[in-house]
Structure 1
């Protein structure tokens, strides 16, 4: 449609300037509104000549869907017009380009940034899912950034979108092979869950710099799609357990085993509860008031836990706040709460150390009783290694991984352990280790929230991204 010396189409109320991108039957231009305000928009010009019956249906569905929805993370359709040659979709302009370019210019995104972007996409997907709309072409090229300094993701290109209830099955192949769910290609039959697979591929690409089916040829790509092998996750960069769990559950080849929409929106890595919103500050303040009350009552452990939970809302509150003075006031309060939480942490840690030391003889007895069961003994050794690391002050993900691995093994063995003294000791040991793992997880979250609260500056998310890159 667009040759080297080719001039853009003419539209009465707009001046069309640079070409932003083009597809099979449409080209998108940056444009300015001539009258009133010099509003910047993106205009999708669809050549009528290039439309067949299927593409006409797709276009009409796209216009119908976009006309009826308004959401902060979905590109807005402002208007549409037509003449003899073209149909014009006048869209919101997104100055930050697309997510594909954003990822590739940075090679990979730090987990913290990928998570913020995933939350925004999940928010758009939840909105669509509640209206029984499936996008069916989710990929980084169809996700736009409002700007580069404080980017908001905007879901775009609804050319393949369909109204689908959760049980609707379709047979028409839609989307891009790299991001297309295997059931689309292998069975030609699919439902709304294909969007969840695509979300998994987008998250994978953001974290590892390439999609899981990246191939040198179409034959290689088809072979990978049709294979029965589970998707393997690279070992580097190191990711949190929550992130790995979500990736594995999104990228299940069998849609019956794939995470459901309900589970996805409730997943701890997606964590929509802690998305930046107008409610974030109120929730944080409410928790702080409870923390102060517990602190005054001398309950250091409960106060520390509440301060930690409050920080998880203060960080999104800082991200949501646009007024510089209010932002600084929040940050100042957060610093005070962090200082108090650090003091309480010292108190709670010393109390826990005493309890841990009291628990060591029981663990040693259990080890002695488990020498005939090498697997149980090895799991207890793993638990001892986690406790030793924590006592050395290594409150990090590596220590948490050791706790989680040992607990996974110990819980399996508890289920098979017959009644008796060893079972009683094992049950008590698991409870103690679970308490330690939960406490450690809380401390790690508090440390991360503290770092994020301090790092949220005028540059916003990209500031945090640079900080994360330095820390990795």
Structure 2
């Protein structure tokens, strides 16, 4: 792909020559049309993350790059940058900060704050209600910041919250690839997000607003509290999940005991019910959640050193073996949903790597085979603690099976391609977009 297409891209939201200011590091994550890599600021040596998106068109049957720019993916990427910039125009510690954005040779680079762990990576077993309260409070703070900027995230889920800050104890909202600005008049339309966390009004095509994000917070709270999704049909597929949410069948119920076999307080149940309220008119806002007694009282008790709940007992199952850790169980549930979607295509990933190599050399880097910084750790350091288990497993699958078929849309910590899925007629089961009738 030549530079002609790049010249056609406006420069109002992006800069050029990422390599002049940053050094590209090892791969931290990957998705269908992009990667997340480590980046080092040449001026001060600060370590950041960079989200790289390939907007070239790939043949839907072979997965081979056609050399043309995908208009849908190009627009989707630029929309994400624009919305992310709006959200970060007022700094918030609970949102991953976007520092700069670049475009060059059909690649976009979004240089952002680096967070080393996902929500589930740092979610330990034996969570007390005070721990849950802290997690839900930080989630609500990030979502409230987006809503204050008049932006609906539309893909709230555990994968899209990262632990950052100096002590890795600040939960930050990320991935605005499916976000949308709330219209001045009317409501948003279309089905976006990840099936188990979708709000009923979105699936029923009634038009929706900020409160779809609140429903999703409730779904995450339900998952962390009870170890299962709010709606868990026998067939754990995207279609079955959406049907169950739409019809409220089987009806949503709130157990009185947490997954860790500890009793649920009335405050915790009330908090979850206030966000998982099917009646939009009675559903809480992000501000309401922050003022809920479960958030206020538990945080006050924790500050006083008095947690009203004890760590869950490690009881044995009927066969005598130790009870299954809740975090492992939750990760298994989320991984099963992701397994319904094709893993990152090695053809696309190789195409991105090859283009990065050329650009690296173009801007003064070493030739292939030398100490090329960007490929450091891709294989020889795959066990590095910065790389999540999900990424390591996906890399291993790619090495074992170099299939070019059935390339589908997925996201991984914001590795994009929302509208591209529709443009390529790709059926998705994870972060997705359905535009039936539009």
Interval containing the TM-score (normalised by the shorter chain): 0.5 to 0.7
Match of 1:67 in 2: 85
Match of 2:220 in 1: 202
Mark the CA change 1:147 to 1:266 in structure 2 (over 3 Å): closer, same or farther: closer
CA distance in 1, matches of 2:231, 2:31: 22
Which of 11, 19, 23 is 2:27 aligned to? 19
Larger Rg over CA atoms: 1
Deviations 1:238-266 (A, max 9, x none): 12111101111211223233234453332
CA contact (8 A) 1:231 1:251 kept: no
Mark the CA change 1:186 to 1:148 in structure 2 (over 3 Å): closer, same or farther: farther
Match of 2:247 in 1: 227
Question: Which structure carries more relative contact order (alpha carbon 8 Å, separation 6+)?
Answer: 2
Match of 2:337 in 1: none
Deviations 1:145-202 (A, max 9, x none): 1169541101001112222169741112211112111221222622221011011011
Q: Which stretch shifts more, 109-118 or 51-60? A: 51-60
Deviations 1:365-403 (A, max 9, x none): xxxxxxxxxxxxxxxxxxxxxxxxxxxxxxxxxxxxxxx
Match of 1:136 in 2: 154
CA distance in 2, matches of 1:149, 1:209: 27
Alignment of 1:146-157 (within 5 A): 146=164, 150-157=168-175
Alignment of 1:418-433 (within 5 A): none
Counting helix residues as a fraction of each chain, which structure ranks higher?
1
Match of 1:244 in 2: 269
Which of 44, 52, 59 is 2:51 aligned to? 44
For the aligned residue pairs, the C-alpha RMSD in angstroms reads: 3.1
CA contact (8 A) 2:18 2:102 kept: no
Match of 1:468 in 2: 311
Give the TM-score, by structure 2 length. Answer: 0.57
1:66 to partner: Cα distance: 2.4
The answer as to 2:306 corresponding to 1:451 is yes
CA contact (8 A) 1:108 1:207 kept: no
CA contact (8 A) 1:201 1:211 kept: yes
CA distance in 1, matches of 2:126, 2:30: 26
The number of residue pairs the alignment matches comes to 278
Counting strand residues as a fraction of each chain, which structure ranks higher?
2
CA contact (8 A) 1:135 1:158 kept: yes
Unmatched segments (≥5 aa) in structure 1 = 1-8, 276-311, 317-448, 454-464
CA distance in 2, matches of 1:117, 1:167: 33
CA contact (8 A) 2:21 2:43 kept: no
Match of 2:115 in 1: 94
1:62 to partner: Cα distance: 2.2
Give the TM-score, by structure 1 length. Answer: 0.53
CA distance in 2, matches of 1:56, 1:188: 29
SS in 1 for 2:111: strand
The answer as to 2:283 corresponding to 1:258 is yes
CA contact (8 A) 2:27 2:35 kept: yes
Unmatched segments (≥5 aa) in structure 2 = 1-16, 58-68, 316-438
Match of 2:229 in 1: 211
CA contact (8 A) 1:32 1:38 kept: yes
Alignment of 1:104-119 (within 5 A): 106=124, 109-119=127-137
Which of 16, 26, 38 is 1:30 aligned to? 38
CA distance in 1, matches of 2:265, 2:36: 39
CA distance in 1, matches of 2:314, 2:193: 37
CA distance in 2, matches of 1:111, 1:167: 40
